[in-house]
């Protein structure tokens, strides 16, 4: 069963719906998470970092099993954690702290395995690569960095290396809002979105910028088409722009270079996007609290879920 | 036939005259008199075609009427003058008929290359000029490999010629080839270096003829500068690519294949050092350093510098040795370099004759210093030598060693940047004493140089290197106290520099802004630096705008190109404590009508993001928005239903999107009821000042966006609103002139009105009390006017009240067009009734005085009845 999960920054719990039938499942209680703060760990359980008062010194992460609405486990990391990510098997969880540190926990034991200083400012998003060997992090200082877990765990090489990261991309001028990674392991592409109104496409193998796309508004969420022909960019003006990666785009169109078109439902700002590869559906969460399911071929909405006043994170599981 | 006839005749004639003819045996008969001479004699006549006479129509010819073929033939003429003329002719012909060269380029080059080792100097020179001006530029675009290889064999041949002149000329030819086809050096590198080495070894000639040596050395410098000594820049143009996953051929880069020449190059460096050493006594004996010797020495030093850089930084991956640096530095080379070259440092003029000489020595010393600084780690200099160089550096940075004339200053600005890249590393390695000396000198350089000069840019990039940690995250919080002082100075200098640059040097401003942005992004690691960065905002205010005695003076920000503006806006995000002063300065920029809408929206976006990140106080942020809405000047003042795309005529569209944006930002700021409570008073105060129509509308829109149904407005605000709304609505009707005519215009008019009326409708919908009060105020104003009409009799007053009545009527009509509002109004029959009453009574009065514009009241009456 494919389910859609959504949480929001205002306490509305975690909404959970069956994607096929549209039936609402269990609603998991007490969850107010920041963007990228909700994750399903190996499709076995849910984890979500919690928003804290600015004065709070420790973080707060809650864990739910699929069957119970109440949080089963709580943990309190050393500092407020915003983004969370888990590898595909669900054996590790990484979290990004507000001081720029990245934490790596082992799920089986709950131990903190590694912690390293990754950025000069707060970490805003984290992604695992397909083969779980790389972690890509984006930060408030506009920096996107690629970390190899092999190096992180290799104490000898770590001592010798002048820097821990594999690549550090500093071309963004403002806070990075979302990162996705393409397919193809070491030669994949990385797409990052930022508050500077641009999305940038990077080559992982060559470590350089491949493309810079300027949007009419700030992009908060991106999702990749499985064929990597295009990517979808959810913007603050409520539209989902379609930007060309490998597709042809005419040099003159209304939105700008490389932007092919847009999906629009006159909603409020789009806060998150996800792509269901099995069903070829695009899911978008918006600030008005709705989760919309798009058929990308016809560009129509085929389903809508009402979550809360505001929704901001979602994923697929089971 | 003739012979056989003759005897028979004799027989017949015997009888006539018996004359006996004696015949001698063995003798030939004399030929008969009537014999025909059958011999054919011929002689060949050679008539050479005359060139003047031939028909050359349609062929490309030179000025002298010669075709390319003829000219090429003449190039191998035994007379030097003819050869030269032929070359001139080719040049002439190619100039006139460029297609001719393209067609026959291989034939041309095959013939012409023979002349590279021509014995005659003039011919070679003519050939050089021909190559330089016509042939190489003409054949630049096509397959150069073949072309070059055709020439190169002959050049190499000439390089080994016995005559020194021909050899020198060959180097010039080679230089020319390299200019047009740089990869050719890497193909023949070893051979070329060998040739250079050979010619430089023959040093008996060059002390006499420095001009020729100079041009040879120039060529060497050019060749060596093709050696890879830095990482190749990988920044390609990214905009042009159409596909991300497109195939890219794996071409070998130009840098491959250089590692084999290391050995050759080392030998060459030794020869160059010897050359340099030969010049030293000459310098001492000569009264003055003349231009040619200076150029020679400079080229020698530059060549050594490039070679040294190649040894140290070049990519020697292909060399079989594991660590090339170990192998590269054999002792002879190192000792040669340090004794013969670095030992004579510093060079100084013996006689102090001219200022120009000082500058020349300064340049030479700078290059030697560069070589030293590259080599520093490998030769392990003694403290004494090291101090000598450091002292020179300090003096150079301070500008002491240079003459103070204008040209001296220019030389200084041109050559000091080459020393700067060493400073960050030096500073981190030398003793504290030297560290402060160097930093002091560097800071002075940075301060003193022209803001737009390349030296300033070089300084800025060094500052970036020293301020912003590169890569390694193993940082220590405690940074050098000495360095910190200077870092503080640099950061403080940046905003001032930005203001000084103004809008005249946008590229320099861009660099400064970029540095500021990087600083904001990465300065967190050092608490004192971030503190300094925070403080730049006070100086930056002037960059945006300043307010003096009520007048606003816009800073350079307004006139910079858009990408610089964007960079400076991005800098704002990283101030963790946004000062009110800066926010004020930015607000007045936002309110400037010349600001592009795009930049305005970017500012709002970034300021809001900064607020979200907790960098701006809540009150400041709110007042930023309110100020924008209340003070934004919409032009033209009269609203006419223009299309929103006409930016030239009106910025009404911009203001509408601005209102939209502010509304959505405010709705994101938290619980709307709380925000509403905070904003209510402020907005009502502003509204009561009767702002422009658009501003009032924007503020009403903010109110209704935050409000809910039923209204959260306090009693007091409702009363205030009920006093304000009638005037506002009348203004709307008054300012938007009604149109007669086609449907499009009418519907356009209704649309425009609706934009302004809609907030009021929402208010009416949410509070019945407001409707009641509003209708009361309307009614009473009408009654007042009808009462006072009887006492006043001035025409002006009458016209006013008449128009007021008309407006009221059309307003009511507009209100009644909306179905929902109509429903609400139906709840207040009494109030509406009293208004109708006053209108009716006014009408009666107008009828009684038989006022000229009777028509319109009647019309109104008709319409109202319909209502």
User: Can you tell me the mean pLDDT for B519-527?
Assistant: 75
CB contact under 8 A, A228 and B522: no
In a domain, B72, yes or no: yes
In a domain, B43, yes or no: no
Cα B683 versus chain centre, distance: 46
CB contact under 8 A, B614 and A54: yes
In a domain, B411, yes or no: no
CB contact under 8 A, A228 and B239: no
Q: How far is residue B420's CA from residue B413's CA, in Å, rounded to a whole number?
A: 12
Beta strand pairing call for A73-75 and A92-97: unpaired
Structural domain for A75, as ranges: 33-174
Q: B458 and B607: one domain?
A: yes
In a domain, A238, yes or no: no
Q: How far is residue B589's CA from residue B530's CA, in Å, rounded to a whole number?
A: 26
CB contact under 8 A, B522 and A141: yes
In a domain, A50, yes or no: yes
B139: phi then psi, degrees, rounded to nearest 5: -110, 20
Task: Kindly list the residues of chain B whose beta carbon comes within 8 Å of any beta carbon in chain A.
Answer: 234-236, 238-239, 241-245, 471-473, 517-518, 521-525, 566-567, 570, 573-574, 602, 605-606, 609, 613-614, 664, 668
Q: B730 and B693: one domain?
A: no
Cα B229 versus chain centre, distance: 25
Q: A269 contacts in B (CB within 8 Å)?
A: 664
In a domain, B232, yes or no: no
Most confident of B461-475, B618-632, B837-851: B618-632
Q: Does A191 touch chain B (CB under 8 A)?
A: no
> In CATH, what number is assigned to the domain containing residue B86?
1.25.10.10
- What angle (nearest 5°) sits at the alpha carbon of residue B632, between those of residues B626 and B633? 155
A147 min Cα distance to partner chain B (Å): 13
Q: B524 contacts in A (CB within 8 Å)?
A: 100, 120-121, 141
Q: How far is residue B467's CA from residue B464's CA, in Å, rounded to a whole number?
A: 5
CB contact under 8 A, A163 and B524: no
The answer to whether residues B405 and B379 touch, using CB atoms and an 8 Å cutoff, is no
CB contact under 8 A, B234 and A206: yes
A295 min Cα distance to partner chain B (Å): 25
pLDDT at position B229 over 80: no
Strands (E), B121-195: none
pLDDT at position B470 over 80: no
Q: Which residue of B has its CA nearest to A249?
A: B242
In a domain, B670, yes or no: yes
In a domain, B685, yes or no: yes
SS3 (DSSP) at B517: helix
Q: How far is residue B741's CA from residue B750's CA, in Å, rounded to a whole number?
A: 13
Q: How far is residue B74's CA from residue A287's CA, in Å, rounded to a whole number?
A: 85
In a domain, B75, yes or no: yes
B573 min Cα distance to partner chain A (Å): 8
Q: List pLDDT tens digits, range B798-826.
A: 777 777 777 887 788 777 777 888 888 88
CB contact under 8 A, A174 and B570: yes
Q: B531 and B602: one domain?
A: yes
In a domain, A141, yes or no: yes
* Portion 217-246 of A in contact with B at CB < 8 A: 218, 228, 236, 245-246
The answer to whether residues A80 and A72 touch, using CB atoms and an 8 Å cutoff, is no
Spell B724-733 as b/e; 16+ CB within 10 A means b.
bbbebbbbbb
Q: B135 and B66: one domain?
A: yes
List the beta bridge partners of residue A85: A94
In a domain, A15, yes or no: no
> In CATH, what number is assigned to the domain containing residue A65?
2.130.10.10
Beta strand pairing call for A167-169 and A198-203: unpaired
Q: B66 and B138: one domain?
A: yes
List the beta bridge partners of residue A134: A148
pLDDT at position B867 over 70: no
In a domain, A247, yes or no: no
In a domain, A137, yes or no: yes
Q: Cβ neighbours of residue B49 under 8 Å, at least 6 residues apart?
A: none
Task: Tally the domains of chain A.
Answer: 1
Q: How far is residue B509's CA from residue A310's CA, in Å, rounded to a whole number?
A: 42
Q: B78 and B137: one domain?
A: yes
Task: Tally the domains of chain B.
Answer: 4
Q: What is the pLDDT of residue B643?
A: 45
CB contact under 8 A, A117 and B473: yes
Cα A299 versus chain centre, distance: 23
Q: How far is residue A294's CA from residue A270's CA, in Å, rounded to a whole number?
A: 13
Helices B105-112, B144-159: axis angle to 10 degrees equals 0
Q: Which residue of B has its CA nearest to A310?
A: B668
pLDDT tens for chain A, 318 residues: list them.
788 888 888 777 888 888 888 888 888 888 888 888 888 888 888 898 888 777 778 888 999 988 888 888 888 888 889 899 998 888 999 999 988 899 999 998 989 998 988 888 889 999 998 888 999 999 988 899 999 999 888 888 888 877 888 888 988 999 999 999 988 877 888 999 999 899 999 988 888 888 888 998 899 999 998 888 889 999 988 889 998 887 776 666 677 788 888 888 877 888 888 888 888 888 888 888 888 889 888 888 888 888 765 555 555 544
pLDDT at position B644 over 70: no
Q: B629 and B595: one domain?
A: no
Q: B604 and B487: one domain?
A: yes
Q: List pLDDT tens digits, range B330-385.
A: 677 777 777 777 777 777 766 666 667 777 888 888 888 888 888 777 777 777 87
Q: What is the mean pLDDT of chain B?
A: 77
Please tell me the least confidently modeled range out of A5-14, B618-627, B849-858. Answer: B849-858
Closest CA relative to residue B589, chosen from B580, B599, B577, B579: B599
SS3 per-residue string spanning chain A: CCEEEEEECCCCCEEEEECCCCCECCCECCCECCCCCEEEECCCEEEEECCCCCCCCCCCEEEEECCCCCCCEEECCCCCEEEEEECCCCCEEEEEECCCEEEEEECCCCCEEEEEECCCCCEEEEEECCCCCEEEEEECCCCEEEEEHHHHHCHHHHHHCCCCCCEEECCCCCCEEEEEECCCHHHCEEEEEECCCEEEEEECCCCEEEEEEECCCCEEEEEECCCCCEEEEEECCCEEEEEECCCCCCCCCCCCCCEEEEEECCCCCEEEEEEECCCCEEEEEECCCEEEEEECCCCEEEEEEECCCCCCEEEEEC
In a domain, A46, yes or no: yes
CB contact under 8 A, A197 and B602: yes
Q: Does A24 touch chain B (CB under 8 A)?
A: no
Q: What is the pLDDT of residue A137?
A: 94
Q: How far is residue B511's CA from residue A204's CA, in Å, rounded to a whole number?
A: 28
Q: B695 and B842: one domain?
A: no
- The number of C-beta contacts closer than 8 angstroms across A and B is 78
Structural domain for B633, as ranges: 617-637+649-709
- What angle (nearest 5°) sits at the alpha carbon of residue A9, between those of residues A8 and A15? 20
Q: List pLDDT tens digits, range A126-139.
A: 999 888 899 999 99
In a domain, A209, yes or no: no
In a domain, B833, yes or no: yes
ipTM (interface predicted TM):
0.89
CB contact under 8 A, B664 and A269: yes
Q: B690 and B817: one domain?
A: no
Q: Which residue of A has its CA nearest to B520?
A: A141
Q: B243 contacts in A (CB within 8 Å)?
A: 246
Q: B613 contacts in A (CB within 8 Å)?
A: 140, 175
Percent of chain B predicted with pLDDT > 70: 80
B726 min Cα distance to partner chain A (Å): 33
Q: List pLDDT tens digits, range B26-78.
A: 777 777 888 888 888 888 877 666 555 556 666 777 777 777 788 888 888 88
B698 min Cα distance to partner chain A (Å): 19
The answer to whether residues B762 and B702 touch, using CB atoms and an 8 Å cutoff, is no
Tokens of B312: 């140290």
pLDDT at position B582 over 50: yes
Q: How far is residue A239's CA from residue A265's CA, in Å, rounded to a whole number?
A: 7
Domain boundary among B180, B205, B223: B180
Q: How far is residue B686's CA from residue B579's CA, in Å, rounded to a whole number?
A: 24
């Amino acid at each position: 069963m494919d389910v859609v999960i959504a949480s929001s920054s205002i306490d509305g719990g975690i909404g959970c719906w069956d994607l096929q039938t549209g039936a609402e499942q269990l609603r998991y209680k007490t969850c107010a998470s920041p963007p990228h703060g909700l994750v399903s760990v190996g499709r076995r359980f849910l984890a979500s970092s919690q928003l804290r008062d600015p004065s709070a010194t420790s973080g707060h992460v809650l864990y739910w099993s699929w069957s119970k609405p109440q949080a089963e486990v709580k943990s309190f990391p050393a500092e407020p954690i915003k983004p969370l990510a888990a590898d595909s098997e669900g054996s590790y969880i990484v979290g990004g702290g507000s001081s720029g540190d990245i934490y790596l926990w082992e799920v089986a034991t709950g131990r903190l395995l590694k912690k390293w200083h990754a950025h000069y400012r707060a970490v805003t998003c984290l992604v695992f690569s397909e083969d779980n060997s790389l972690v890509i992090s984006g930060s408030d200082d506009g920096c996107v960095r690629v970390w190899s877990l092999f190096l992180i765990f290799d104490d000898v090489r770590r001592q010798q290396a002048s820097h821990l990261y594999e690549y550090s991309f500093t071309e963004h001028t403002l806070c990075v809002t979302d990162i996705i990674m393409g397919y193809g392991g070491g030669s994949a592409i990385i797409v990052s979105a930022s508050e500077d109104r641009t999305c940038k496409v990077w080559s992982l193998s060559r470590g350089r910028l491949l493309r810079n796309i300027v949007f009419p508004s700030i992009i908060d969420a991106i999702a990749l088409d499985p064929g990597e022909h295009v990517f979808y960019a959810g913007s603050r003006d409520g539209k989902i722009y379609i930007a060309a990666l490998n597709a042809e785009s005419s040099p003159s169109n209304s939105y700008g270079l490389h932007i092919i078109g847009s999906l629009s439902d006159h909603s409020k700002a789009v806060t998150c996007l996800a792509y269901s590869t099995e069903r070829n559906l695009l899911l978008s969460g918006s600030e008005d609290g709705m989760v919309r399911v798009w058929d990308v071929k016809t560009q129509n909405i085929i389903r809508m879920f009402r979550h809360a006043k505001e929704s901001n994170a979602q994923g697929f599981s089971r | 036939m003739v012979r056989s006839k003759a005897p028979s005749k004799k027989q017949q004639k015997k009888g006539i005259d018996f004359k006996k003819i004696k015949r001698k045996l063995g003798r030939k008969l004399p030929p008969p008199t009537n014999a025909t001479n059958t011999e054919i004699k011929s002689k060949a006549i050679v008539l050479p075609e005359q060139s003047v006479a031939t028909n050359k129509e349609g062929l490309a010819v030179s000025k002298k009427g010669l075709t390319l073929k003829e000219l090429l033939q003449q190039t191998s003429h035994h007379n030097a003058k003819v050869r030269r003329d032929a070359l001139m002719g080719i040049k002439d012909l190619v100039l006139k008929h460029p297609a001719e060269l393209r067609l026959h380029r291989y034939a041309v080059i095959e013939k012409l290359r023979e002349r590279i080792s021509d014995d005659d100097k003039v011919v070679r020179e003519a050939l050089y000029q021909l190559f330089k001006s016509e042939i190489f530029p003409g054949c630049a675009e096509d397959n150069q490999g073949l072309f070059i290889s055709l020439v190169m064999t002959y050049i190499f041949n000439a390089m080994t010629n016995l005559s020194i002149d021909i050899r020198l000329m060959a180097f010039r030819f080679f230089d020319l080839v390299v200019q047009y086809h740089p990869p050719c050096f890497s193909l023949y590198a070893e051979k070329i270096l060998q040739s250079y080495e050979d010619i430089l070894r023959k040093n008996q000639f060059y002390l006499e003829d420095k001009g020729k040596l100079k041009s040879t050395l120039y060529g060497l410098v050019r060749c060596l500068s093709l050696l890879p000594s830095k990482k190749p820049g990988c920044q390609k143009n990214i905009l042009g690519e159409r596909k991300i996953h497109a195939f890219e051929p794996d071409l070998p880069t130009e840098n491959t294949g250089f590692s084999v020449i290391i050995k050759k190059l080392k030998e060459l460096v030794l020869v160059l050092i010897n050359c340099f050493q030969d010049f030293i006594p000459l310098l001492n004996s000569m009264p003055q350093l003349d231009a040619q010797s200076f150029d020679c020495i400079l080229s020698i030093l530059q060549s050594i510098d490039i070679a040294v850089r190649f040894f140290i930084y070049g990519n020697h991956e292909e060399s079989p040795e594991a660590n090339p640096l170990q192998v590269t530095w054999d002792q002879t080379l190192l000792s040669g370099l340090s004794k013969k070259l670095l030992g004579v440092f510093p060079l100084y003029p013996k006689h102090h004759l001219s200022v120009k000489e000082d500058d020349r020595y300064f340049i030479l010393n700078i290059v030697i210093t560069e070589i030293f600084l590259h080599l520093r780690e490998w030769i392990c200099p003694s403290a004494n030598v090291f101090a000598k160089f450091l002292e020179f550096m300090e003096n150079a940075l301070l500008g002491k060693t240079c003459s103070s004339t204008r040209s001296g200053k220019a030389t200084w600005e041109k050559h000091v940047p080459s020393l700067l890249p060493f400073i960050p590393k030096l500073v981190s390695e030398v003793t504290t004493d030297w560290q402060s000396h160097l930093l002091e000198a560097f800071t002075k350089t940075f301060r003193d140089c022209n803001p737009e000069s390349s030296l300033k840019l070089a300084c800025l990039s060094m500052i970036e290197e020293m301020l912003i940690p590169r890569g390694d995250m193993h940082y220590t919080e405690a940074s050098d106290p000495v360095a910190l002082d200077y870092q503080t100075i640099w950061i403080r200098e940046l905003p001032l520099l930005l203001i000084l640059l103004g809008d005249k040097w946008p590229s320099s401003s861009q660099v400064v802004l970029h540095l500021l942005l990087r600083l904001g992004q990465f300065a967190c690691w050092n608490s004192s630096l971030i503190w300094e960065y925070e403080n730049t905002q006070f100086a930056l205010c002037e960059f945006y705008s300043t307010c003096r005695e009520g007048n606003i003076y816009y800073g350079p920000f307004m006139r910079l190109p858009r990408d610089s503006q964007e960079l400076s806006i991005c800098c704002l995000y990283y101030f963790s404590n946004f000062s009110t002063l800066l926010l004020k300065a930015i607000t007045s920029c936002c309110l400037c009508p010349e600001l592009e809408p795009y930049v305005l929206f970017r500012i709002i976006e970034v300021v809001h993001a900064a607020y979200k990140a907790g960098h701006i106080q809540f009150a400041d942020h709110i007042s930023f928005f309110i100020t924008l809405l209340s003070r934004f000047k919409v032009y033209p003042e009269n609203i006419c239903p223009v299309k929103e795309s006409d930016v030239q005529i009106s910025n009404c569209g911009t203001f509408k999107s601005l209102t939209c944006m502010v509304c959505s930002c405010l709705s994101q700021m938290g619980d709307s009821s709380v925000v509403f409570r905070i904003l209510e008073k402020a907005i009502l105060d502003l509204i009561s000042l009767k702002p422009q129509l658009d501003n009032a509308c924007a503020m009403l829109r903010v109110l209704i966006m935050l409000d809910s149904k039923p209204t959260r407005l306090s009693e007091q605000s409702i009363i205030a609103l009920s006093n304000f709304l009638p005037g506002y609505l009348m203004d709307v009707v008054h300012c938007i002139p009604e149109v007669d005519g086609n449907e499009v215009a009418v519907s356009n008019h209704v649309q425009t009105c609706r934009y302004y009326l809609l907030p009021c409708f929402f208010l009416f919908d949410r509070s019945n009390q407001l409707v009641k009060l509003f209708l009361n105020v309307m009614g009473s104003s009408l009654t007042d006017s009808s009462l006072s009409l009887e006492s006043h009799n001035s025409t002006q007053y009458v016209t006013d009240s008449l128009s007021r009545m008309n407006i009221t009527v059309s307003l009511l009509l507009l209100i009644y067009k909306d179905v929902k509002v109509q429903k609400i109004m139906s709840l207040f029959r009494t109030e509406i009734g009293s208004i109708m009453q006053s209108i009716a009574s006014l009408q009666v009065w107008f009828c009684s005085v038989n006022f000229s514009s009777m028509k319109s009241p009647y019309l109104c009456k008709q319409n109202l009845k319909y209502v």
